[in-house]
């Protein structure tokens, strides 16, 4: 700090409990003539809304956000010079319970950090001949006002008639208020914010207001979002307008509240009844919703009366992506909205239910996508500091950060190893070694801990693991029980993180550590091969996730890698190009297919619409990424597992593949000092446009195919370079470029689709994934058993020959096969 903090924390004398009012603090002070500058620095345990002379200070909301409060508590700073006058003035704040003392976590507990709201403030008055400091102390007075109840999960109740006029102004009679109590809290935790503040960033008007079959008034904002609604209402005193929030409608057209679990997500406004329009919005809660049920509205509710206010950390947007396929554009928008909805101070798993925690695995899976879409150095840099502080105190990386779980967190792959992979991902994006330097102790401590858990063969073979979390084939009551051996997943991720740490140590000049962790990496690699890999490249307990990790992480090389890629493509085809991976595998399966020469299969996986698939949610109207592939079933009913969020960004990690492979922007050195521009058209796309603002400037790639000509436009920043692999170029041309704008136009092969007949060997049809998918769908429709086109006997067997060995083939089988071959 540039100067020591003064004063102390203060609070009300009594603890707060569920449903108790927010606490109002105020103090009068004198400003002498000659004031040059005044700065208010303020924070608290809870959500703090500051006031000076009756006016709200600042435009941030939900301040100071949620950090690991005992270690790090952000202090907001405001220049309030223009708000002060010579003579008597007043400073005040309303403090709601927020994350500090309210109910947080699915365990239903309160008071994780404190049993009451607490405030710290320091107002520095700088004069030409000195300065005066006004700080929180027992001269502050404490009362209550219109905010009668406030809860992150349950909502806010505001009684306009109870608002105390002038409470934060000079001359207010606070004799009926009580004296503030000193609250013990270490000032060492106070710090300048690293992350940008949370703000109102957008407003949405209703797309429709409807009356449900059950008679409810429902406002549809057309988009699942995070924030709250603002209303303008005129009515009699004491009337209560109730606003309850939901993500989904039932098939019967009623609001579906099951995704909230025990969170009430309900705001209540009690009118003052002045006869004039009253405008109100909550400030001490937030919700995840698309629909708002409105009860108690006086008269007819119109679209002009209500707005949705979108709230999240005020990050700078850095990534954009569009294509010729509106379904893929909607998928990408869903990814974007899920990120926005879950970056409210802490990168959370979901914004609507009784959870909203900083789950490490979700973020680890999504981090490369997040860093492309927004500048996340502040939000995630702050979060990594919390992680390191709690790890140092507790001896483990918590599964959620900040940690409010009642039990310790075991070291796990993808979750705990975010301590290593997130700093590495941020370094790759921004090219700043200080990111690695700031996290190095945390990175090193985690890997050293796991090293001590390895068995004699060097495998991470014991202990709890989340595995391929939410594999669609996992039992509904065991999200970790997917197809892939969870310790194979753990050992694969350890291969990745030991490599990342060894490279980090080398970059930071920690040569002894670099040698140590490189030896560990080689030990882990050898153990994985011995335990899980056949000499041919096939993996034990074959699954798409196992192959995706082994290929994408670089565990397999040469012929083994080639064979693994073939086997992965076969497994993906066998699943009908529907998703068969969870949190661990989904971010990597499209890359693994692409890297091993199966781009068509990757596009078929991307564009499949049957459940479970990336586009299935899009086809039934999703506007965000879901927690489960089948969170909403085709009949519109909710998948009632108790764990069914409709705003969960982790499975949106496929957007990173969209940016790099479809869009064609991939860095080859950290920070995009050099890049590869190599769009890979496919999937029937005729265009894509991708923009990314890097630390060096804007990179823009646009390609379009029209009437047999491909046009490619590339812009990269001055001082950077790129290798451009011209997409679909007849000579596979590659060019080197430097900063500036570059354009190419050339003819491409636009021959029609390959023609197949009933006499074509199955092996040839299997080599054309789109046609084989259609053929497989016909077999699935008519036969009770699968047809394996990759079986050795299929090499020369035609469909006509196959028809002769199928017992009693349905009459429509051959007809449907001929139809799909003709398309």
* Mean pLDDT along residues 76-96: 98
Residues in Cβ contact with 265 at an 8 Å cutoff, skipping those fewer than 6 apart:
153, 154, 155, 244, 245, 246, 257, 287, 288, 289, 352
Tokens of 720: 């950077």
Give yes or no for a cis peptide into 612 (omega within 30° of 0): yes
What's the CA gap between 614 and 610, in Å, rounded? Answer: 9
Q: Answer whether 285's CB lies under 8 Å from 152's CB.
A: yes
What is the assigned CATH class of domain 9-193?
mainly beta
Q: Answer whether 769's CB lies under 8 Å from 741's CB.
A: no
The helix/strand/coil state of 705 is: strand
* DSSP structure string for 24-74: EEEEEEEEPS-EEEEEEEEEEESEEEEEETTEE--SB-STT----TTT-EE
Identify the active-site residue in 49, 272, 281, 355: 355
State residue 780's pLDDT score.
81
Write down the architecture of domain 319-662 according to CATH: Alpha/alpha barrel (1.50)
* Mean pLDDT along residues 441-455: 98
Quick one: pLDDT band at residue 774, thresholds 50, 70, 90? Answer: confident
Write down the architecture of domain 199-313 according to CATH: Sandwich (2.60)
Q: Answer whether 113's CB lies under 8 Å from 67's CB.
A: no
State residue 762's pLDDT score.
81
Q: Answer whether 594's CB lies under 8 Å from 661's CB.
A: yes
Three-state secondary structure readout of 186-254: CHHHEECCCCCCEEEEEEECCCEEEECCCCCEEEEEEEEEEEEEEEEECCCCCCEEEEEEECEECCCCC
With a pLDDT cut of 90, the percent of the chain lying above it is 89
Quick one: pLDDT band at residue 792, thresholds 50, 70, 90? Answer: low
Quick one: pLDDT band at residue 1, thresholds 50, 70, 90? Answer: very low
Tokens of 235: 């009515």
The partner residues of 241 in beta bridges, in order of sequence, read 269
Q: For this structure, is 355 an active site residue?
A: yes
Give yes or no for a cis peptide into 64 (omega within 30° of 0): yes
What's the CA gap between 661 and 189, in Å, rounded? Answer: 44
The 10s digit of each residue's pLDDT in 146-193 is 999 999 999 999 999 999 999 999 999 999 999 999 999 999 999 999
Q: Which of 30, 29, 28, 66 is nearest to 47 (CA)?
A: 66
What's the CA gap between 583 and 283, in Å, rounded? Answer: 34
* DSSP structure string for 68-112: -TTT-EE-EEEE-GGG--SEEEEEEEEEE-HHHHS--STT----S
Q: For this structure, is 627 an active site residue?
A: yes
What's the CA gap between 25 and 19, in Å, rounded? Answer: 19
State residue 823's pLDDT score.
62
What's the CA gap between 249 and 214, in Å, rounded? Answer: 12
The 10s digit of each residue's pLDDT in 349-389 is 999 999 999 999 999 999 999 999 999 999 999 999 999 99
The 10s digit of each residue's pLDDT in 585-613 is 999 999 999 999 999 999 999 999 999 99
What's the CA gap between 381 and 193, in Å, rounded? Answer: 10
* Mean pLDDT along residues 80-106: 97
Q: Which of 361, 383, 360 is nearest to 193 (CA)?
A: 383
The partner residues of 149 in beta bridges, in order of sequence, read 157
State residue 752's pLDDT score.
55
Apex 328 CA angle, 324 and 333, nearest 5: 115
Identify the active-site residue in 247, 500, 627, 702: 627
CATH of domain 670-747: 2.60.420.10
């Amino acid at each position: 700090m540039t100067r020591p903090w003064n004063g102390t924390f203060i609070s009300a004398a009594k603890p707060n409990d569920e449903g108790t009012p927010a606490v109002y603090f105020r103090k009068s002070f004198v400003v002498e003539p000659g004031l040059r500058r005044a700065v208010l620095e303020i924070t608290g345990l809870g959500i703090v809304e500051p006031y000076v002379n009756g006016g709200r200070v600042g435009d941030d909301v939900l301040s100071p956000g949620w950090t690991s409060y005992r270690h790090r508590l952000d202090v907001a700073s405001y220049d309030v010079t223009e708000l002060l006058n010579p003579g008597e003035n007043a400073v005040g704040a309303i403090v709601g319970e927020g994350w500090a003392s309210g109910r947080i976590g699915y365990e239903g507990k309160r008071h994780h950090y404190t049993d009451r709201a607490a405030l710290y403030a320091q107002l520095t008055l700088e004069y030409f001949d000195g300065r005066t400091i006004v700080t929180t102390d027992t001269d502050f007075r404490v009362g209550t006002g219109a905010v009668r109840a406030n809860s992150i999960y349950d909502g806010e109740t505001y009684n306009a008639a109870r608002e105390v006029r002038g409470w934060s102004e000079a001359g207010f009679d606070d004799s009926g208020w009580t004296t503030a109590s000193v609250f013990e809290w270490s000032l060492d935790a106070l710090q300048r914010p690293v992350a940008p503040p949370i703000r109102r960033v957008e407003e949405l008007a209703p797309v429709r207001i409807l009356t449900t079959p059950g008679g409810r008034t429902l406002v549809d904002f057309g988009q699942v979002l995070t924030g709250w609604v603002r209303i303008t209402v005129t009515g009699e005193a004491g009337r209560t307008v109730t606003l309850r929030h939901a993500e989904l409608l039932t098939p019967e057209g009623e609001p579906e509240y099951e995704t909230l679990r025990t969170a009430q997500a309900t705001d209540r406004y009690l009118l003052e009844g002045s006869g004039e329009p009253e405008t109100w919005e909550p400030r001490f809660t937030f919700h995840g919703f698309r629909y708002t049920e409105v009860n108690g509205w006086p008269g007819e509710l119109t679209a002009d009366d209500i707005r949705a206010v979108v709230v999240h950390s005020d990050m700078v947007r850095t990534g954009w992506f569009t294509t010729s396929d509106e379904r893929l554009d909607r998928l990408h928008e869903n990814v974007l909205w899920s990120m926005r909805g879950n970056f409210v101070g802490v990168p959370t798993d979901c914004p609507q239910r009784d959870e909203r925690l900083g789950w490490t695995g979700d973020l680890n899976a999504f981090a490369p996508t997040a860093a492309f879409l927004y500048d996340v150095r502040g939000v995630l840099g702050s979060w990594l500091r919390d992680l390191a502080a709690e790890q140092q105190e507790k001896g483990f990386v918590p599964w959620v950060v900040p940690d409010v779980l009642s039990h310790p967190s075991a070291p796990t792959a993808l979750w705990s190893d975010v301590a290593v992979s997130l700093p590495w991902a941020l370094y790759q994006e921004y090219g700043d070694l200080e990111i690695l330097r700031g996290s190095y102790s945390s990175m090193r401590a985690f890997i050293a801990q796991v090293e001590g858990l390895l068995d004699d063969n060097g495998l991470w073979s014991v202990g709890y693991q989340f595995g391929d979390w939410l594999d669609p084939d996992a039992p509904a009551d065991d999200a970790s029980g997917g197809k892939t051996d969870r310790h194979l997943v753990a050992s694969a991720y350890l291969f990745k993180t030991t490599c990342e740490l060894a490279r980090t140590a080398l970059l930071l000049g920690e040569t002894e550590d670099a040698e140590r962790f490189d030896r560990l990496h080689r030990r882990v690699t050898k153990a994985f091969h011995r335990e899980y890999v056949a000499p041919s490249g096939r993996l034990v307990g074959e699954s798409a996730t196992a192959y995706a990790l082994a290929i994408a992480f670089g565990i397999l090389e040469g012929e083994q890698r080639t064979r693994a890629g073939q086997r992965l493509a076969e497994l993906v085809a066998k699943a009908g190009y529907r998703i068969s991976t969870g949190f661990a595998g989904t971010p990597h399966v499209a890359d693994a297919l692409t890297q091993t020469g199966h781009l068509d299969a990757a596009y078929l996986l991307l564009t499949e619409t049957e459940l479970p698939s990336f586009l299935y949610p899009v086809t039934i109207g999703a506007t965000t990424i879901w927690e489960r592939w089948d969170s909403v079933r085709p009949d519109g009913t909710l998948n009632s597992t108790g764990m069914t969020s409709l705003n969960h960004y982790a499975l949106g990690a496929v957007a990173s593949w969209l940016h790099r492979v479809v869009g064609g922007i991939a860095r080859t050195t950290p920070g995009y000092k050099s890049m590869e521009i190599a769009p890979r058209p496919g999937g029937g796309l005729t265009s894509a446009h991708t923009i990314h603002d890097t630390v060096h400037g804007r990179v823009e790639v646009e390609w379009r195919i029209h009437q047999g000509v491909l046009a490619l436009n590339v812009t990269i920043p001055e001082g950077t370079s790129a290798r451009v692999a011209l997409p679909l170029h007849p000579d596979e041309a590659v060019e080197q470029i430097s900063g500036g704008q570059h354009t190419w136009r050339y003819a491409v092969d636009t021959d029609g689709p390959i023609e197949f007949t009933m006499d074509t060997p199955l092996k040839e049809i299997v080599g054309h994934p789109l046609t084989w998918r259609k053929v497989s769908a016909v077999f699935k429709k008519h036969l009770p058993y699968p047809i394996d086109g990759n079986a050795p006997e299929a090499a020369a067997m035609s469909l006509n020959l196959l028809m002769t060995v199928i017992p009693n083939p349905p009459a429509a089988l051959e007809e449907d096969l001929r139809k799909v071959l003709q398309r």
